[in-house]
Structure 1
Amino acid sequence: MHKLTPILNPLTLPNGAVLKNRLLMAPMTTCTGFYDGTVTSELVEYYRDRAGSIGTVIVECCFIDPKGPAFPGAIAIDSDNKISGLSKIANAIKSKGSKAILQIYHGGRMVEPELIGGRTPVAPSAIAAPREGATTPQALTAEEVEVMITKFGDAVNRAIKAGFDGVEIHGANTYLIQQFYSPNSNQRDDKWGGSRDNRARFPLEVLDITHKMAERFADSSFIIGYRFSPEELEVPGIRFDDTMYLLEKLAARGLDYVHFSVGQLLRPSIVDREDPTPLITKFIAMRSPELAKVPVIGVGGVVNKADAESALEHGFDLVAIGKACIAYPDWADRITNNEQLELFIDSNKREALNIPEPLWRFSLVDAMIRDMSATGRKYKAGVYQEKVEAEALKLKINVTLDTDRITDIMLIPDDSLDVDFTTTFESLRTRILVANSPHVDAITGATTQSEALKKAVSRALATSSKEHVIEEGGNPAAPQNYDVVVIGSGGAGLAAAIQAHDDGARVVIIEKMPTIGGNTIKASVGMNAAETRFQKLKGIEDSKELFYEETLKGGKFKNNPVLLKEFVELAPEAIEWLAAKDIELNDITITGGMSIDRTHRPADRSAVGGFLISGLVKNINKRDIEVLLETSVADILFENGAVTGVKVVDEYNDSRILNAKSVIVATGGFSANREMVVKYRPELDGFVTTNHKGATGSGIAMLQKIGADTVDMGEIQIHPTVEQTTSYLISEAIRGGGAILVSQAGKRFYNEMETRDKVSAEIIALPEKSAWVIFDEQVRLNNKAADEYIAKGFVVSAPSPQELAVKLNMDLHALLATLERYNVFVEKQDDEDFGRKTALRHPLNQGPFYAIRIAPGVHHTMGGVTINTDTAVLDAQKQVIHGAWAAGEVVGGIHGANRIGGNAVADIIIFGILAGRNAAALARR
């Protein structure tokens, strides 16, 4: 057994075959086959590069019949002349020490006529897929069904001859095998349709013939797996109990593994939206002892070692890795060496990564390459067609542009479009047209699909804008002139850009990530300010002096007092600045380290980050401020003692110069840069981070190159309440709303409202180094973030504390005693055990009861570059670097040795406004 990580442990399959570890490369479309489905040499090298340390490679699906390809460039196993090419793939994988498994399938009604020479696709019944523009297939006759099963058997025989270690029967993705089992696509009245047993007959017969071929032509270690989609959205359609019924029957006939086909490992039901239970949890609870003998593969969202380990912790036996294996051919080696990876591909790395040209152009990979926005530019009028893929969504749209705005967006019909997305497309289309910008709020419940559509629109705008420049006789790569360049699109950058624009500057925002929002969008609790209008309306008496003293104490008296005084003085004005822009934070709560309710949040008590970014982006759109997404700043240009602009590199690896007298750096901290964190705090090696992957400290580095000084770089805050499998922050507002922290022993162990550093230290001191946030229905009703945590599957719930204790494997008597004692303290408003003085809101006595397992994670870097109260960047001699400004977490000194919850949002808005105002003033001189 591997002591460091269970993902490297071997696994013996039911047939006796041994997989050397728990990792598999997931089967992914490459679109790299020849027109007739034969294998290309670059496809062989693509698989060779990715084999080795990973235990098993499941090769992309091979169609078993000439009418079977579901996408262009698919590879085939429909005739003996395909064996030699496939054997090259099998040999390449096995020569590196990995098992080679081949996925086999038929697309059925998902096949487009243009892929099969204009012929009509076949299916169980002559029923088109419930998607706009879908072709009505031809129903297979009873005789043709029998022939189709034989063709699956022939494919297995060819896979054996090609040297594969096994086959995976593709019964997912609404392809032919799933179509036979679905009551939506199969409405036959013969033995192949009607009852559930009859509909199960086809997949069972395919499995039977697979076994027969393996017994005749392969040795006993030949692996037979089955991939399944657990549910269908269609009505009628496959539901999870139908899937379990089929899997039990398949297991009874012999399987070596089953393979979930979902976009995310812990995805809950797509049918019952009210049930947040991950499907894997349901699977484990419902399976029989016979099915429990069959290993189960999880897939979806695995990028780092922690993701794979989480999969095993949740009950998967094996983990399939998809896009990360494309981006990192040596992925298994990297995560074994504890590298923290980002799902990103440099646009000039195709050949180095051995990614075939068709795959590089395929939207699956294209979505990991760079993009940019062209908001605010002039366009060449016309219709621009763009394609994007996000997970299972293949999106093709036509964007119609006039010279200055988006006039229409049309969705091109596609069999593979997600049904749910097509129903929300019109809402998102309307938002984009009204805003005349792709930078709009995503549709709730369809975030991934929304981002795909916004990306496609952004790409169309960028293409049109470049064509306009060329049409006018210009050069798109020529230097451009601005007054102010803002680097970073989090709260500080957006606030700075808005203020600079309103003060008369021509502004551009540069963002290296594919979406706007930075770390701010993840902010949960609120924005601290004292002596505000909203406090007075609620009768809350507060003072700036007390706010200053508590922040200084919380920062262990290491805060820069001059910056802190400016911060406290300007906080109420910043609240009003937001309100004037229709971003009103008028509900108030409290965070650890504060003695007064001064944390301002939205009226619906939702997380502040999304609300704030949504409001700021609307203001960006209203002002037509240009935003360049997925564009990196290579250098801040500096000549004769002053900043002169920046050099940027776009998603196509093209560079250009943006001239400007003022450059505002608002790139955030470095919590997501593991090497940098460990450099300053070696003891934090291995901690998860709550930050988004762009928080790498790039702004600090680029400012240091032009002479900036830094301060407090070793002051790195860990947040006490982080859900460890996803690195998701559990808001301090939950404790501020009345929740408590309980150990696995069922006991409170510290004042929940103490500062983050102290609470974190107490959790780490527990034997299990983790704890539970426990709250009741009253807390949930007053904290909208709790519903988000429930939806994400973080929360364990039960009608009573007794039942909750059982679910948590906790001593129920201890938990009951803890709750009873705490409730007495609430009644007395006196915590006799730990001296908690705040947020003793109400007794925890209203079911249901909820619990979230948490542990500390790297959350905020208090250190950064030095600035003065104008936000001008200072060098080591405390002299101003002319034209360089900074705001937000890139700056050090404000928070001292520990940041108080709610002060980061205040920091980014207060100093973002200041930076924008002063940068614009300098540029106008």
Structure 2
Amino acid sequence: MSTSTSRPSTSKPSSSVGSPSGSQADIELLQSPFVLPGGASIPNRIAKAALSEGLAEPDGRPGPRIRNLYRRWATSGMGLIITGNVMVDSRAIGEPGNVVVEDERHLADLSAWADTAKKGGAKLWAQINHPGRQIPRNLSSQPLAPSALAASGVGGAFAKPRALTTAEIEDIVARFATTARLLVQTGFDGVQVHAAHGYLISQFLSPLSNERTDEWGGTPENRRRFLIEVVRAIRAEVGPEVPVSVKLNSADFQRGGFGEDESLDVVRALAAEGIDLLEISGGTYSSAAMLGVDPTLKESTRKREAYFIAYADRVRAEVPRLPLMLTGGFRTLDGMADAIRSGVIDIAGLGRPLAVEPDLPAALLSAKTESSDVRPKRSGIRLLDNLTELVFYTVQLWRMADGKAPAPGRHPALNVTQYLLRNGVDSVRLPRRSR
């Protein structure tokens, strides 16, 4: 398997005598390194996708609990670890416990976090973000957004925002660049810009949340200007050799919103800027896709792995040399290997399974298992199950942060009680998922 950034071969492994078995061939493929356009190498094809940990200290620094969690993941066998949300502004955090990096106050803590997470040989990227209007009411009574439009379909969890001024937009662009520089300075190998899931950059991209008529809105080109300026500012700070990735929605799955065709235009623009990796995701807090399901898919398709694989195939056809990572739905060795072998993607992302089975990548790559056994308990009541499932994964992260093993068999009522005591009642309105 080539480690170049060109489209991987679509040929199947030979079945001749002496060739590896199907499972062994899958393992060898997933064990192969991947070289990014800037020259950085990812040791293997399995990545930990971002999961919002909610474990920072009250002042936003990454303390011992988040280090404990990443110490657990450091030896999990992944080639790439992407952190959860690292916010660029302490005045705008998406949920309690977000890490904030906006100045040099916590450089020692950041270095300790990076050193801990990289002990097993994985590359470490920080996902950097600004929530825009997606800030719980108990954290902000008037968040900032491209336009003064409240988020729909979230039960009033977020207050109506105020529209950003041009000066504030330019300040946030600069904050992304500063955050990236400080992270790289303290040992992080790269950064991922969060442009999905309805956060600030996603809000700029969507005509449903961006009704501006200046240079930051109105046309698709202007709506994507904020993202492009963020990428350019980061690149100017970190240089050409540090990986800069973007997490982008395939669509937001809302009528009149950000669709696949416009998303492809954004991908082309990002490729022209020289990003090193695109991670494909989908949805917002106002749509079901953030729960890990593309609502446009038939039930038979939903049961397959890799929820956004059809869109990834479109991206590959349009921009064949852009490295792609796909997260959402992967649960088996052959599912990940097939997606890579087909040439559609280069990196397979795992999110929620790693909250319960932190050693899953190592187990897959050593032939100890061929699939994830994560099965949250379900009642059959959709709203209740959505609540208990989001809490289920979050509590597993907290357990590992406290030096305990995940407890998938723990009664859901205990998990919900623990979650509410820590984060408050308002937090259960927010569908915490892979970030």
**CA–CA distance in structure 2, aligned partners of residues 87 and 280 of structure 1:** 36
Check if 1:356 corresponds to 2:401: yes
Q: Where does residue 698 of structure 1 map in the other structure?
A: none
**CA–CA distance in structure 1, aligned partners of residues 418 and 356 of structure 2:** 20
Q: 1:305 to 1:274 in 2, by over 3 A?
A: closer
Q: Where does residue 254 of structure 1 map in the other structure?
A: 274
Within the candidate set 226, 231, 242, 2:246 is matched to 226
Q: Where does residue 411 of structure 2 map in the other structure?
A: 371
DSSP 3-state at the match of 1:97: coil
Q: 1:102 to 1:150 in 2, by over 3 A?
A: same
CA distances 1:640-685 after superposition (whole Å, capped 9, x unpaired): xxxxxxxxxxxxxxxxxxxxxxxxxxxxxxxxxxxxxxxxxxxxxx
Q: Where does residue 385 of structure 2 map in the other structure?
A: none
CA distances 1:58-90 after superposition (whole Å, capped 9, x unpaired): 111100012321111111112211322121111
Check if 1:32 corresponds to 2:55: yes
Q: Do the aligned partners of 1:256 and 1:294 also contact (CA within 8 Å) in 2?
A: yes
DSSP 3-state at the match of 1:30: coil
Unaligned stretches of 5+ in structure 2?
2-23, 284-288, 378-391
**CA–CA distance in structure 2, aligned partners of residues 4 and 283 of structure 1:** 20
Within the candidate set 109, 126, 151, 2:148 is matched to 126
Q: Do the aligned partners of 2:325 and 2:346 also contact (CA within 8 Å) in 1?
A: yes
How far 1:281 moved relative to its partner?
A: 2.4
DSSP 3-state at the match of 1:78: coil
Q: Where does residue 786 of structure 1 map in the other structure?
A: none
Q: Do the aligned partners of 2:136 and 2:427 also contact (CA within 8 Å) in 1?
A: no
**CA–CA distance in structure 1, aligned partners of residues 398 and 419 of structure 2:** 21
Q: Do the aligned partners of 2:26 and 2:337 also contact (CA within 8 Å) in 1?
A: no
CA distances 1:315-373 after superposition (whole Å, capped 9, x unpaired): 221011112222233222211232334216999xx99997124999xxxx78x443379
Q: Do the aligned partners of 1:7 and 1:23 also contact (CA within 8 Å) in 2?
A: yes
Q: Where does residue 430 of structure 2 map in the other structure?
A: 416
**CA–CA distance in structure 2, aligned partners of residues 81 and 396 of structure 1:** 28
Q: Where does residue 336 of structure 2 map in the other structure?
A: 308
Q: Do the aligned partners of 1:328 and 1:353 also contact (CA within 8 Å) in 2?
A: no
Q: Do the aligned partners of 1:124 and 1:140 also contact (CA within 8 Å) in 2?
A: yes
Check if 1:51 corresponds to 2:74: yes
Q: 1:4 to 1:146 in 2, by over 3 A?
A: closer
How far 1:235 moved relative to its partner?
A: 3.2
How far 1:386 moved relative to its partner?
A: 6.3
Q: 1:221 to 1:386 in 2, by over 3 A?
A: same
**CA–CA distance in structure 1, aligned partners of residues 397 and 142 of structure 2:** 41
**CA–CA distance in structure 1, aligned partners of residues 171 and 79 of structure 2:** 35
CA distances 1:768-819 after superposition (whole Å, capped 9, x unpaired): xxxxxxxxxxxxxxxxxxxxxxxxxxxxxxxxxxxxxxxxxxxxxxxxxxxx
Q: Do the aligned partners of 1:129 and 1:415 also contact (CA within 8 Å) in 2?
A: no
Q: Where does residue 67 of structure 1 map in the other structure?
A: 91
Q: Do the aligned partners of 2:47 and 2:79 also contact (CA within 8 Å) in 1?
A: yes
* Match runs of 1:653-672 below 5 Å: none
**CA–CA distance in structure 2, aligned partners of residues 275 and 232 of structure 1:** 21
Q: Do the aligned partners of 1:44 and 1:89 also contact (CA within 8 Å) in 2?
A: yes
How far 1:139 moved relative to its partner?
A: 0.9
**CA–CA distance in structure 1, aligned partners of residues 90 and 410 of structure 2:** 36
* Match runs of 1:94-243 below 5 Å: 94-115=118-139, 118-131=140-153, 132-133=155-156, 134-215=158-239, 220-243=240-263
Q: Where does residue 19 of structure 1 map in the other structure?
A: 42
Q: Where does residue 282 of structure 1 map in the other structure?
A: 311
Q: 1:124 to 1:413 in 2, by over 3 A?
A: same
Within the candidate set 55, 65, 77, 1:42 is matched to 65
Q: Do the aligned partners of 1:228 and 1:259 also contact (CA within 8 Å) in 2?
A: yes
Counterpart amino acid of residue 333 in structure 2:
K
Check if 1:324 corresponds to 2:348: no
Counterpart amino acid of residue 20 in structure 1:
P
**CA–CA distance in structure 1, aligned partners of residues 38 and 212 of structure 2:** 35
How far 1:294 moved relative to its partner?
A: 1.3
Q: 1:25 to 1:286 in 2, by over 3 A?
A: closer
TM-score by length of 1: 0.37
Q: 1:42 to 1:276 in 2, by over 3 A?
A: closer
Q: Where does residue 607 of structure 1 map in the other structure?
A: none
Check if 1:270 corresponds to 2:290: no
How far 1:273 moved relative to its partner?
A: 6.5
Q: Do the aligned partners of 1:61 and 1:104 also contact (CA within 8 Å) in 2?
A: yes
Q: 1:182 to 1:189 in 2, by over 3 A?
A: same
Q: 1:207 to 1:73 in 2, by over 3 A?
A: same
Determine which structure has greater relative contact order: mean sequence separation of CA pairs < 8 Å that are 6+ residues apart, divided by chain length: 2
**CA–CA distance in structure 2, aligned partners of residues 413 and 325 of structure 1:** 22
**CA–CA distance in structure 2, aligned partners of residues 283 and 372 of structure 1:** 35
Identical-residue share of aligned pairs (%) = 25
**CA–CA distance in structure 1, aligned partners of residues 333 and 320 of structure 2:** 25
* Match runs of 1:453-468 below 5 Å: none
CA distances 1:561-589 after superposition (whole Å, capped 9, x unpaired): xxxxxxxxxxxxxxxxxxxxxxxxxxxxx
DSSP 3-state at the match of 1:88: helix
Q: 1:386 to 1:41 in 2, by over 3 A?
A: closer
**CA–CA distance in structure 1, aligned partners of residues 62 and 427 of structure 2:** 30
Q: Where does residue 78 of structure 1 map in the other structure?
A: 102
Counterpart amino acid of residue 416 in structure 1:
L
Q: Where does residue 296 of structure 1 map in the other structure?
A: 324
**CA–CA distance in structure 2, aligned partners of residues 358 and 46 of structure 1:** 8
DSSP 3-state at the match of 1:136: coil
TM-score by length of 2: 0.76
Q: Where does residue 626 of structure 1 map in the other structure?
A: none
Larger radius of gyration: 1
How far 1:190 moved relative to its partner?
A: 0.8
**CA–CA distance in structure 2, aligned partners of residues 417 and 20 of structure 1:** 32
**CA–CA distance in structure 1, aligned partners of residues 145 and 397 of structure 2:** 41
Q: Where does residue 374 of structure 2 map in the other structure?
A: 343
DSSP 3-state at the match of 2:118: helix
Q: Where does residue 388 of structure 2 map in the other structure?
A: none
Counterpart amino acid of residue 165 in structure 1:
D
Q: 1:103 to 1:342 in 2, by over 3 A?
A: same
Q: 1:274 to 1:63 in 2, by over 3 A?
A: same
* Match runs of 1:658-737 below 5 Å: none
Q: Do the aligned partners of 1:329 and 1:353 also contact (CA within 8 Å) in 2?
A: no
DSSP 3-state at the match of 1:146: helix
**CA–CA distance in structure 2, aligned partners of residues 175 and 292 of structure 1:** 28
Q: 1:352 to 1:112 in 2, by over 3 A?
A: closer
Counterpart amino acid of residue 243 in structure 2:
I
Counterpart amino acid of residue 91 in structure 1:
D
**CA–CA distance in structure 2, aligned partners of residues 125 and 252 of structure 1:** 28
**CA–CA distance in structure 1, aligned partners of residues 375 and 301 of structure 2:** 29
Q: 1:357 to 1:114 in 2, by over 3 A?
A: farther
How far 1:414 moved relative to its partner?
A: 6.4
How far 1:48 moved relative to its partner?
A: 2.1
**CA–CA distance in structure 2, aligned partners of residues 167 and 232 of structure 1:** 23
* Match runs of 1:352-751 below 5 Å: 355-357=400-402, 368-371=408-411, 416=430
Counterpart amino acid of residue 241 in structure 1:
D
Counterpart amino acid of residue 143 in structure 1:
A
